[in-house]
Structure 1
Amino acid sequence: MERIVLGYDGSPASVSALSWVADRAAREVAKVGVVNVVSQFVSDRRAALDQLSDAEAFLRERAPGVGVDLHRLEGGVTDALTGFAAEADLLVTGINPGHPIRAAMAGAMPLRVSAHSHVPVVMVPAEWTAIGDPITVGIADDDSSDVALAFAAREAGEVEGSVRLVHAWLMPTPAFSGATALAVTPEDVMAGHRATLEAAVDWIAERFPTVSFESELVRDSRPAALLRFAPRSSMLVIGTNHRGLLAGSLLGSVAEGVLWQAECPVAVVPRDRALLSRLTED
């Protein structure tokens, strides 16, 4: 039985996340912990109880038989959600796309949650609607996307869907040895990145032989390449090395680059060997 933790506060984004969880729980047995993080004010506590009750009623109507637990927690949202979800299989929260500045001023909660969580985090945009398009997963140059690829394949297998593997590349900055530029041709660079993508294709074909897939090699930045396919994706899946929010900002976090513009759910999957073993087991 899958254990899902849903962060819920009654906002339009969290209602979309609730709907996403309900659809998921309707097709497979799940236990959902609905979490509302409140402040010390009495009015917030009363509102939280009403919000939790509404979420429970919605889940039981849309997914009969689902197990639902309600939790009202105190403290910082990031620590409360990630701590509570430490033993879960999935953490789900809502996000308002198109407002990165406003989110940054509020603490960039979804990004912080995905940066600190040790379980996959799915962030569902406000006004999300389900579509049957492929799940798009970003393929990195290292093996940090292996778990993300396994997660995407598992998700596609559950709904008899398909996976789109996207690998982005750009020409590197020329290196210099003395006065001589050690230049490489675009063809050489592209061939190396094509080999990376083909290795990922072989990896998924070996471990998930019943899942259909396609691959795309794109000359662009990783966020831009993923966003190119977002309108035709049921989900974007990204791997993370858990460098943290600050490091991600300094080094060009892919999640930060796509999260505020994608109109489909975005899943950030941590690089974890135990999780990879669970996802690839028969």
Structure 2
Amino acid sequence: MSRLVVVGVDGSASSLAAVGAAAEEARRRKAELRVVHAFLWPAMHVPLGPSPLGPPEGGLQSAVDRLVTEAVEHARSVAPDVDVSHTVVTGEPLSVLEAQSASAELVVVGSRGMGGFVGLLVGSTAVHLAAHGRCPVLVVRESGVADGPVVVGVDGSPAGAKAIDFAFAEASLRGAELVALHSWTTWNAPAPAPQDEKAPYASEPGELEAGEERLLSEALAGHQERYPGVKVRHELVHGGTREALIEASRTARLLVVGARGRGGFTGLLLGSVSQAMLHHAHCPVAVVRGDSGEEAEGNA
């Protein structure tokens, strides 16, 4: 089966930016690019042709044809050597793109589409796909810093291992440095084993930080051997995870997070940190779900 990148388009400026990013991703992967538009109106039995009183090029069908053609042409201008196909699928965007993700290695969408409500920083399609997509989802927000690093949030959870895998691969494809960022506070760090019965909760100075550094190193173990050409920088931050990742995104070309991490609530497919990144990061954000078994266990 050939490699495939899927990009969702709806005619918005945000989706056209996603097309450009998707074309670059397809070029790096030597993959096919499929431009997908979810066409809701046929399912609602709305007339698709031009109005009898309007111009012959009017109507919903013609508008869709134009926006898909524009997207395909833009993709080919960005990556002329990529094989670009397109499809228009009857249905609403959430279910159409979720179905498309089953055969893709990456789905790319804009942060907001034509149906976004004023005041929302990220659209429902992007959030839904990040939670339910069958492959990693790249949400194109701001363009990011062209020569910046790939940043990955590391929390040591089993589900987060997939995000680390993806981040190493992306850094290798882009020829970029990888910044592995782990944040901690005295409230979320595992308590050390008691050394003194009189002070069971005391820890030696620096002991918590050393433990968090070990967690970060262990989470990255084995990846460097598979990607020897990727330069990795460890960032251990004493502070809030959301704040640390948002700040790191200011100088990044890509931010990678797991869909859910250590401390996620049962039943939630998308954690609070990944949702915050979709809303507030200063560069494109890739959200990577864990293995299906891990996700099922987390939602039991």
Q: With the length of structure 1 as denominator, give the TM-score of the two structures.
A: 0.82
Which residue number corresponds to residue 157 of structure 1?
172
Q: Identify unmatched segments of 5+ residues in structure 1.
A: 275-282
Which residue number corresponds to residue 6 of structure 2?
5
| 1:212-232 deviations in Å (ceiling 9; x for gaps) | 110101112222111111011
* Aligned-partner SS, 1:137: strand
| 2: CA distance, partners of 1:232 / 1:146 | 23
The structure carrying a bigger strand percent of its residues is: 1
**Percent of paired sites with the same residue:** 28
1:141 aligns with 2:159: no
CA contact 1:161–1:211 (8 Å) conserved in 2: yes
Which residue number corresponds to residue 87 of structure 2?
71
Q: Aligned match of 2:249 in 220, 230, 236? A: 230
Which residue number corresponds to residue 18 of structure 1?
19
Question: How far 1:107 sits from its partner (Å)?
Answer: 6.6
Q: Aligned match of 1:131 in 136, 146, 164? A: 146
Q: Aligned match of 1:271 in 290, 293, 296? A: 290
Correspondences of 1:80-159 after superposition (within 5 Å) = 80-96=96-112, 102-103=119-120, 108-125=124-141, 128=143, 131-159=146-174
Which residue number corresponds to residue 239 of structure 2?
220
The structure carrying a bigger helix percent of its residues is: 1
Question: How far 1:103 sits from its partner (Å)?
Answer: 3.6
Question: How far 1:241 sits from its partner (Å)?
Answer: 4.4
* Aligned-partner SS, 2:36: strand
Question: How far 1:112 sits from its partner (Å)?
Answer: 0.9
Which residue number corresponds to residue 262 of structure 1?
281
Q: Identify unmatched segments of 5+ residues in structure 2.
A: 49-58, 192-197, 294-300
CA 1:51 to 1:238, structure 2 compared with 1: closer, same or farther past 3 Å?
Answer: same
Tell me the amino acid that sits aligned with residue 171 of structure 2: A
Aligned length: 265
Which residue number corresponds to residue 247 of structure 1?
268
Tell me the amino acid that sits aligned with residue 22 of structure 2: V
| 1: CA distance, partners of 2:280 / 2:22 | 21
* Aligned-partner SS, 1:216: strand
* Aligned-partner SS, 2:221: helix
Correspondences of 1:193-212 after superposition (within 5 Å) = 193-212=212-231
Question: How far 1:44 sits from its partner (Å)?
Answer: 3.9
Q: Aligned match of 2:77 in 61, 78, 83? A: 61
Q: Which structure: larger Rg? A: 2
